[in-house]
Every structure is written in structure tokens, then in C-alpha cells.
């Protein structure tokens, strides 16, 4: 099998990094304080295998959208990639089918391959909706993934439509909400109506904690109980549980940072359009674009030599483009300056 190839992660800090949708701002100072307290207490003991403190805090936060939610509706993971792995391991075995749209998050393909399963890939329609193929019954179809907002497009499918998709699908649906905090809608409420719906989230993007590794899944308690059997006992460490819990509790930091990113997203789209790029309207912290007269691959390479890293993606049946993470205003200024220079 082919392994998953993560986005480039240069460790020297010299490039302006707009390639893997990280948050450009430092996380809440409360995260560092919480991690410091754990270090002071010592790390000789195993962490809470259930990350209970986080689940209590997260359930409180989501109760307005999902009344009835308690900590037993939540499973924590070492990033949401760990959650996706746990769910795939639980539902899929050799010879099964895993369905997901294209272009979307490439890891779904690798997770299916690890299980020895086949991928049932459904191309998005031109307007980024999904056609009837996405809900068609097929023998041995065991799991469907839907990144919503989607990556690399940044588009969303409305919760009403996702509810219809989930009801029509003959298998569980994992709605991957890694970017949902930059969107206006989410699918949490669907979980109460349909136990086939699971929603995964991450603290990597909107909470600026990609380096900490913390994600979680929301699903009905009888589903969570089964998934717990599949996870590693201590998949979240003591530092990440404390840091993630503190991050969730700091609503002021969250609101301010989210507001800054949304404002810069609007600015980035305006600037890209001024430069002649065709941009897909984004509900995430990145923008997917193409230029009618400039090759995306060449732009990616030339930007890299200028010290700016963006994500070049090329998908069968769809083609290529650039995915630009919403950075700080000054990072976006530097990006635009480089593009102007390259365009001559």
C-alpha cells in the first residue's frame, strides 16, 4: 500500500507556513499554565485513560446544540486522525468498502488501505454537492467519511442535507468537523436523531494546538462504548488532556482568535481575486484557488523559493490547485507581495 504523505513540516521556522491549516496565533496562555501544573505534579503516573476532565468540559460546551449530551457521548484521541483511525478499525475489515468524496482528505484512503478495505470514491458535483452515488447501497459498505467543511475546497454541506445523506446511507457516517469552528453551521444535533452519525473535531486548528495532538468524537453512548474497546488505553497523555481542557475553557481567547482569522480570510479572498485567482468560497481557515494563466505547481515551487509554503494538491478526475492557509495579516501581505513579484 501507499503510505499517507503529510504536508511538509520544515522544523527550522524559516518559511512562512501556509500549507497545513495551522492557526497562526499562539494558543491561550491558560494552556501553558495548565501544562506547567501537570509538570510540577510529575509525570510518573499514567494519565486518565478516559480523559474525563476534558469530556466533562466539552459536554458542557456542546449541550446547547446537543441537549442530553454527557461525557459518555465523547471519545478523546491523539488528534482527530487518531479518532478516524479508531473508527475505521472498529467498523471496517478486509474486503469491506469505505466511501468518501473526492477531492477531500486524503488520509481516508490510507485508513481504508490499512484495514485491507476498498475505497468507494464519489466525485463531488461541480457545485460541491454530493449526488445519489454517495448514498447508494453497496454490498460490504461499512463506513462513509464526509469532511464538512471539506478540505481542500472549504465548502460545506448544510446540516439538513447531511441529515438526508445519513438517513439514506446504509452504513455509519463520520462527519469530520476539523474546520467547523470557521463555519456557520455544524452537524452536532444530527447525532441525537440518528445513531449512525458520528462527529469528529480537533483542537489543532481553531484552538492553535496542532502540536499538542488532541481531537475527539461525539456519538451516542452505545457507539462510544464500543469504540473505547478499540483505542489504545492511554491514547491521550497527561499534558495534552490538561492543555486541551484549559483551551476549551478559555472562550475569550477562542472568540478573539476566530474573529481575527475570519477577518483575514475575507481579506485573503479579496486579494487573491484582485490577482486574478478563482477562489472557492471558504467556510474554513484556508482558501482553495486556481489561476487561469499560471500553473499551480509552478506557483507552489516558486513561492517556496521565496520562503512561502502553500499546499499544492492534484486529484484524479478533478485536477490541481493551491490551498492557502489563512495566516496573520502580515503573513498574507508577504504572500501577496511574492505573488505580485512572480507575476512580474
Residues of this chain that bind ligand PLP (CB under 6 A): 21, 79-81, 105, 147, 151, 176, 178, 202, 204, 210, 215
Residue closer to ligand PLP by CB (options 202, 220) is 202
Rounded least distance, CB 276 to ligand PLP, Å: 27
Residue closer to ligand PLP by CB (options 69, 212) is 212
Query: What's the gap between Cα 290 and its chain centre?
Result: 22
Rounded least distance, CB 83 to ligand PLP, Å: 8
Residue closer to ligand PLP by CB (options 28, 153) is 153
Residue closer to ligand PLP by CB (options 105, 335) is 105
| Cα–Cα dist 24/92, whole Å | 36
What are the cell numbers at 183?
463555519
| Cα–Cα dist 175/186, whole Å | 9
Residue closer to ligand PLP by CB (options 179, 335) is 179
Rounded least distance, CB 120 to ligand PLP, Å: 18
Rounded least distance, CB 321 to ligand PLP, Å: 15
Rounded least distance, CB 137 to ligand PLP, Å: 26
Residue closer to ligand PLP by CB (options 200, 264) is 200
Rounded least distance, CB 227 to ligand PLP, Å: 16
Rounded least distance, CB 107 to ligand PLP, Å: 7
Residue closer to ligand PLP by CB (options 176, 237) is 176
Amino acid at each position: 500500500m501507499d503510505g499517507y504523505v503529510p504536508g511538509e513540516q520544515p522544523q527550522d521556522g524559516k518559511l512562512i507556513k501556509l500549507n497545513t491549516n495551522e492557526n497562526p496565533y499562539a494558543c491561550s496562555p491558560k494552556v501553558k499554565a495548565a501544562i506547567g501544573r501537570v509538570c510540577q505534579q510529575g509525570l510518573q503516573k499514567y494519565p486518565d485513560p478516559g480523559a474525563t476532565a476534558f469530556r466533562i468540559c466539552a459536554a458542557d460546551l456542546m449541550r446547547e446544540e446537543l441537549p442530553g449530551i454527557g461525557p459518555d457521548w465523547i471519545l478523546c484521541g491523539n488528534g482527530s486522525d487518531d479518532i478516524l483511525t479508531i473508527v475505521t478499525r472498529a467498523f471496517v475489515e478486509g474486503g469491506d468498502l469505505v466511501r468518501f468524496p473526492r477531492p477531500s482528505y486524503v488520509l481516508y484512503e490510507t485508513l481504508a488501505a490499512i484495514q485491507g478495505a476498498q475505497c468507494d470514491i464519489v466525485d463531488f458535483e461541480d457545485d460541491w454537492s454530493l449526488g445519489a452515488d454517495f448514498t447508494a447501497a453497496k454490498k460490504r459498505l461499512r463506513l462513509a467519511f464526509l469532511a464538512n467543511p471539506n478540505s481542500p475546497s472549504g465548502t460545506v454541506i448544510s446540516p439538513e442535507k447531511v441529515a438526508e445523506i445519513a438517513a439514506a446511507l446504509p452504513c455509519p457516517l463520520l462527519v469530520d468537523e476539523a474546520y467547523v469552528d470557521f463555519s456557520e453551521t455544524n452537524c452536532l444535533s444530527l447525532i441525537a436523531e440518528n445513531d449512525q452519525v458520528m462527529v469528529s473535531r480537533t483542537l489543532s486548528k481553531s484552538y492553535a494546538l496542532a502540536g499538542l495532538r488532541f481531537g475527539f468524537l461525539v456519538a451516542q453512548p452505545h457507539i462510544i462504548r464500543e469504540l473505547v474497546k478499540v483505542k489504545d488505553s492511554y491514547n491521550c497523555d497527561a499534558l495534552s488532556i490538561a492543555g486541551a481542557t484549559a483551551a476549551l475553557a478559555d472562550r475569550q481567547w477562542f472568540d478573539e482568535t476566530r474573529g481575527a482569522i475570519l477577518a483575514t480570510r475575507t481579506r485573503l479572498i479579496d486579494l487573491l481575486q484582485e490577482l486574478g485567482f478563482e477562489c472557492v468560497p471558504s467556510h474554513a481557515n484556508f482558501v482553495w484557488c486556481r489561476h487561469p494563466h499560471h500553473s499551480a505547481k509552478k506557483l507552489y515551487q516558486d513561492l517556496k523559493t521565496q520562503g512561502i509554503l502553500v499546499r499544492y494538491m492534484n486529484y484524479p478526475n478533478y485536477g490541481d490547485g493551491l490551498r492557502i492557509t489563512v495566516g496573520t495579516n502580515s503573513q498574507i501581505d508577504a504572500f501577496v507581495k511574492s505573488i505580485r513579484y512572480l507575476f512580474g
